[in-house]
Amino acid sequence: MISTAACRQILHLDMDAFYASVEQHDNPELAGRPVIVGGGSLRGVVSAASYEARRFGIHSAMPIATARRLCPEGFYLPVRMARYQQVSGRVFEIFERYTPLVEPLSLDEAFLDVSSSTRLFGNGVAIARRIKDEVRRETGLTVSAGVAASKLIAKIASDLDKPDGLTVVEPGREKEFLAPLPISRLWGAGPATCRELRLLGVEKIGDLCRLSLELLERKFGKLGSHLHRVAQGLDERPVEPGQGMKSVGHEDTFDRDLTDMNEIRRELFSLADRVGRRLRGYGTAGRTVTLKVKYSDFTVESRSRTLAEATDDGAELYRQALALLPKTKAGSRPVRLLGISVSSLENEQDLRQPSLLPPPPGRTKRRQVNQAVDAIKEKFGSTAILPGSFLKDQ
């Protein structure tokens, strides 16, 4: 018996080396060269690496210092988040031409349920090809696609033939598709779990299917029953529009440890401003503000507070971060990294629902000011408008 999930047509679409590809597109001289995004600080980490850079062993989250040792001739570029958001918006507009059921996972990947779109556009494979063609034509970038009857299989499939790949798994062949793949491909099979499974003789997903449910539950508890199920390709989770993004944030690692509180506050202002712009770019706002501090010994503290109403205003985020700062040891201990993130997100449509109560004084004006400042910074750069205190310090 084929489950109802087998009737679905799910796409997983994943932009290829997104940040680095945008940089190569915007600067044709970088085409075919190793490009590493996130290179603003020797103590930072790689945000993205082009496929040319990956041949040197460079990957996301690698320390920049390590990347520079592996590929000293690479092009190390700072993150241009506003530009990536702009391109991402264009890409998602293409996705939404084919279905309203688009679940974003990040700026550069999403699930699409196109089951109800086939009469207009053809089957899932035809739709994936159309989307790939339109993304390339309208943005100059490539996207890899997986087509299957479930989110689990579509996501694994999209990663098997990068870049610019298209992998299709027909309904009923999920178990056969998964069997030769390493167990690390499965959601929930992290490094520690994979080590434990290898002790049981499990290297491939097909090996996992030969273990009994009882054994896996005894060994791994609830995770064991999950692994038993997904190893057989069973996944009936729906595509949930707007449910992919849980938080929006930004963090910076500094070239030298910070001890001066005025400098720390300036860095927090910069972070809050960028997070506010990012929230507005996504059309969302959040109620829970989290301050992250990493010290010179690599220990980390996080402090959070939840607001009565969601905000996308950088000035408000800065005020909340300042209120959280005394709850950390910043100033008394050298600070290696600072970060601000916002969760408990609400989308712009929800924020604009009519209310019986008038908006608080100044909210509408503040939103208009933010929109104007965003437009100026988009055109002239992030330093086009700065607080007077910043200019005085400089």
**pLDDT tens, the chain, 394 aa long:** 344 444 799 999 999 999 999 999 999 999 999 999 986 666 778 999 999 999 999 998 898 999 999 999 999 999 888 899 899 999 999 999 999 999 998 889 999 999 999 999 999 999 999 999 999 999 999 999 999 999 999 999 999 999 999 999 999 999 999 999 999 998 888 888 899 999 999 999 999 999 999 999 998 899 999 999 999 999 989 998 866 567 888 888 887 899 999 999 999 999 999 899 888 877 789 999 999 999 999 899 999 999 999 999 999 999 999 999 999 999 999 999 999 999 988 875 555 444 444 555 555 566 656 666 655 555 554 454 555 555 444 4
Q: Which of 109, 196, 346, 378 is catalytic?
A: 109
- Amino acid, single-letter form, for residue 339: G
Helices assigned H by DSSP within 40-123: 51-54, 64-70, 81-95, 118-121
Kindly state the helix (H) or strand (E) to which residue 345 belongs, with its residue range: strand 335-347
Cβ 279 vs Cβ 286: under 8 Å:
yes
CB 346 within 8 A of CB 310: yes
Q: How far apart are CA 324 and CA 338, in angstroms?
A: 12
pLDDT at position 250: 87
pLDDT confidence of residue 132: 98
Structure tokens at 274: 């960028």
93 is a catalytic site residue: no
**Residues recorded for the chain:** 394
Query: CA 254: distance to chain centroid?
Result: 22
Structure tokens at 144: 């890899």
Residue 84 and residue 98 in contact, taking contact as beta carbons nearer than 8 Å: no
Q: Are 95 and 110 in contact (CB under 8 A)?
A: yes
